[in-house]
Amino acid sequence: MGVIAKGGLEELLMECYKRLYSHFGPQKWWPGDTLMEICVGAILTQNTNWNNVSKAIENLKKAAILDCSALYHLPTEELAALIRPAGYFNVKARRLKNFINFVWENYGGSLDKMFQTDCGPLRQALLSVKGIGPETADSIMLYGGNKPTFVVDAYTMRCLRRHDIVDEYCQYEDARRLFMENIPQDVTLYNEYHALFVALGKHYCRSRKPGCASCPLQGL
Mean pLDDT of 143-155: 96
Which residues make Cβ contacts (< 8 Å) with residue 72, sequence separation at least 6? 100, 101, 104, 109
> Strand pairing partners for 166?
3
Domain spans of the chain?
9-28+152-214, 35-145
Residue 14's pLDDT band (cuts 50, 70, 90): very high
> Strand pairing partners for 3?
166
Q: What is the pLDDT of residue 220?
A: 80
Residue 30's pLDDT band (cuts 50, 70, 90): confident
Q: Quick check: 1 pLDDT over 60?
A: no
How would you classify residue 84: left for phi > 0, otherwise alpha for psi between -120 and 50, otherwise beta? alpha
Domain 35-145: which topology? Endonuclease III; domain 1 (1.10.340)
Average pLDDT over the chain reads 94
Half-sphere exposure of 103 (CA within 13 A, CB side): 25
State the Cα–Cα distance between residues 150 and 180, nearest whole angstrom: 7
Helices then strands, counting H and E runs in the chain, come out as 13, 0
Least confident range of 3-7, 31-35, 165-169: 3-7
Q: Quick check: 186 pLDDT over 90?
A: yes
Q: Quick check: 153 pLDDT over 90?
A: yes
Could you tell me if 96 and 43 are in contact, meaning their C-beta atoms sit under 8 angstroms apart? yes
How would you classify residue 215: left for phi > 0, otherwise alpha for psi between -120 and 50, otherwise beta? beta
Domain 9-28+152-214: which topology? Endonuclease Iii, domain 2 (1.10.1670)
Residue 5's pLDDT band (cuts 50, 70, 90): low
Q: Which of 51, 79, 84 is CA-nearest to residue 65?
A: 79
pTM for this one?
0.93
Least confident range of 3-12, 13-22, 41-50, 91-100: 3-12
The 10 Å Cβ neighbour count of residue 9 is 16
